[in-house]
Amino acid sequence: MEITLKIGPFVTEHHQQAIDEEAVSKIYSYIKETVIPRATPNYAQVTGEFSASYDDPRFFGPLSICKYWYHLGIEFHHSDSNKDEHFSATLVLEPERGIFKEHPRCGLILFDRPSGPKWDKLRKV
């Protein structure tokens, strides 16, 4: 299954350099090893986005920890849209180890799509 992932764009040079081909490869590995096994099987398409949580130089002081925080959102689209699932995670890049970890307080979260007539009506608006 192909994953369509939008990465960036990043405003700051810090993120433009940090998220290189190797980092992108690790993001895809995280999705395949951690996110996909948690999804309901038989999805038709997987899409997502990866962005910097804090992409402004004012967050990059010498003691900053949030300059390594990233947001990952993944959608699993099923043939029945009422069964679509959304996963969201805050990933932390550990530059010295070259790995991404889930943030301890806001790691991977699953948001199920609510279903039923009330929600179907709201979706059509």
Q: What mean pLDDT value characterizes the chain?
A: 84
pTM score, whole prediction: 0.81
Q: Which domain holds residue 75?
A: 3-123
CA–CA dist 116, 88 (Å, integer): 23
Q: Which residues of 67-84 are buried (b: 16+ CB within 10 A; e: fewer)?
A: bbbbbbbbbbebeeeeeb
93-104 pLDDT, tens per residue? 988 888 898 888
37-61 pLDDT, tens per residue? 888 888 888 999 999 999 999 998 8
Domain count, the chain: 1
Quick one: DSSP state of residue 40?
A: P
